[in-house]
């Protein structure tokens, strides 16, 4: 099959690799029908995520059709359409038993396109499939559920839920990229009185206003802080969601949160940020961080099915899977291409040769 392979910082190629097979009885193999590229994939390509080994297939957000199941898989069968989530859950470790799949210590967590081969490929092996893949209701398209693989649960869980948003609150969302936009959409589920979106990119701000943000701030730094404070009569916001991942935006969040409020950090940081405790110590502020658990994925899928969430707004560019290199170029140079989220569509009618039974037997001996 063909796949998008990481070859060290700055190097990627769409190339022929061996077809994935069932390696453990809890695995499935799926044909990839739709897959997207994440900002995190760009971080990997910059060399910011050194644990990703050269030779790894990238990608952790996809929708596919099951073509093969391991002997221990009981809830999925060939032909089922499934969402492969960015987070894998073993379902049995202490963290998974608490629904904290992002912290899985039994071989899951964020592994796809990170510690094992990912889903930017024609086929992909999904470990612990019973507890990690989600069957898709018949009425929903691949693209409608694709963004449940990462950005929607990430913004909802790490931003909105961790930030304890309540009806009537004022929320500021700093950063209007895909994560910020998903935060706007999922914050609206709680009927905040205002959603102030902060981003210097007018196009991104306009998209956020179209998705339910009520106010926009395109200034940066102290001017952005002053604008948010003036919009809240000098009080600050109940919840500030950081959706960028650089020191300036984190520090802005701590400047615009009201006394007693929450800062929920969603951004992926590569550098230290300053925590101004000399100002914050007296403000009774709660700061939360984290990796998504994806324990809200079924609930968010219900909301899409019910028409209460419409993720169609994320997609700006569509490519076929074998145009993956062009899709990366467009996504990486968003200023030029105007790309927000790109969708790669697979060939829906290819079939995989069933895995060699000897491979299955070998996996069984590992006792998983």
Interface with Zn ion by CB under 5 A: which residues? 38, 40, 90, 93, 96, 104, 106, 108, 150
Strands 237-242 and 194-198: unpaired
Task: Evaluate whether 138 touches 144 at the Cβ level (below 8 Å).
Answer: no
Rounded to whole angstroms, how far apart are CA atoms 244 and 266? 8
Cβ at position 102, least distance to Zn ion in Å: 10
Distances (CA, A) of 293 to 88, 157, 180, 311: 9, 8, 18, 20
C-beta nearest to Zn ion: residue: 38
By beta-carbon proximity to Zn ion, the closer residue of 68 and 89 is: 89
Provide, rounded to whole angstroms, the least separation between the CB of residue 233 and Zn ion.
37
Q: How far is the CB of 242 from Zn ion (least distance, A)?
A: 17
Q: What is the DSSP string of 36-81?
A: E--HHHHHHHHT--TTSPTTPBP---EEEEEEEE-TT--S--TT-E
Q: Which is nearer to Zn ion, 70 or 236 (CB)?
A: 70
Q: How far is the CB of 110 from Zn ion (least distance, A)?
A: 9
Please say which residue, 38 or 213, places its beta carbon nearer to Zn ion: 38
Residue 144 token pair: 């409608």
CA distances from 10 to 13, 45, 97, 116 (A): 10, 5, 38, 19
**Least CB distance from residue 89 to Zn ion, whole Å?**
5
Between 98 and 219, name the residue whose CB sits nearer to Zn ion: 98
Determine contact, residues 286/263, Cβ cutoff 8 Å.
yes
CB of 38 or CB of 217, closer to Zn ion: 38
């Amino acid at each position: 099959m063909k796949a998008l392979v990481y070859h060290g910082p700055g190097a990627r190629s769409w190339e022929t690799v061996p077809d994935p097979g069932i390696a453990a009885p809890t695995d499935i193999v799926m044909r990839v029908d739709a897959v997207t590229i994440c900002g995190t994939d760009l971080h990997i390509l910059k060399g910011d995520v050194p644990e990703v080994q050269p030779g790894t297939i990238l990608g952790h957000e996809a929708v596919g059709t099951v073509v093969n199941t391991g002997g221990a898989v009981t809830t999925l069968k060939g032909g089922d359409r499934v969402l492969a989530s960015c987070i894998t859950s073993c379902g049995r470790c202490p963290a998974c038993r608490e629904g904290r799949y992002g912290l899985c210590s039994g071989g899951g967590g964020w592994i796809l396109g990170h510690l094992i081969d990912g889903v930017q490929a024609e086929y992909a092996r999904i470990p612990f499939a019973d507890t990690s893949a989600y069957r898709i209701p018949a009425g929903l398209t691949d693209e409608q559920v694709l963004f449940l693989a990462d950005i929607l649960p990430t913004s909802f869980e790490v931003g909105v839920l961790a930030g304890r948003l309540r009806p009537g609150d004022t929320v500021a969302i700093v950063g209007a990229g895909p994560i910020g936009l998903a935060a706007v959409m999922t914050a609206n589920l709680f009927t905040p009185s205002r959603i102030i979106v902060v981003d210097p990119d007018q196009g991104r701000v306009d998209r956020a206003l179209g998705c339910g943000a009520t106010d926009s701030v395109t200034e940066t730094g102290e001017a952005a802080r002053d604008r948010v404070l003036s919009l809240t009569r000098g009080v600050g916001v109940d919840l500030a969601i950081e959706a960028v991942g650089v020191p300036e935006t984190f520090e802005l969040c701590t400047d615009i949160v009201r006394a007693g409020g929450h800062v929920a950090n969603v951004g992926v940081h590569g550098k230290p940020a300053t925590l101004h405790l000399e100002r914050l110590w007296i403000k009774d502020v709660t700061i939360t961080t984290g990796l998504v658990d994806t324990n809200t994925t079924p609930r968010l899928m219900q909301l899409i099915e019910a028409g209460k969430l419409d993720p169609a707004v994320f997609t700006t560019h569509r490519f076929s899977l074998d145009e993956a290199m062009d899709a990366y170029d467009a996504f990486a140079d968003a200023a030029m291409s105007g790309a927000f989220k790109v969708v790669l569509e697979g060939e829906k009618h290819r079939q995989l040769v069933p895995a060699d039974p000897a491979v299955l037997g070998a996996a069984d001996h590992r006792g998983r």
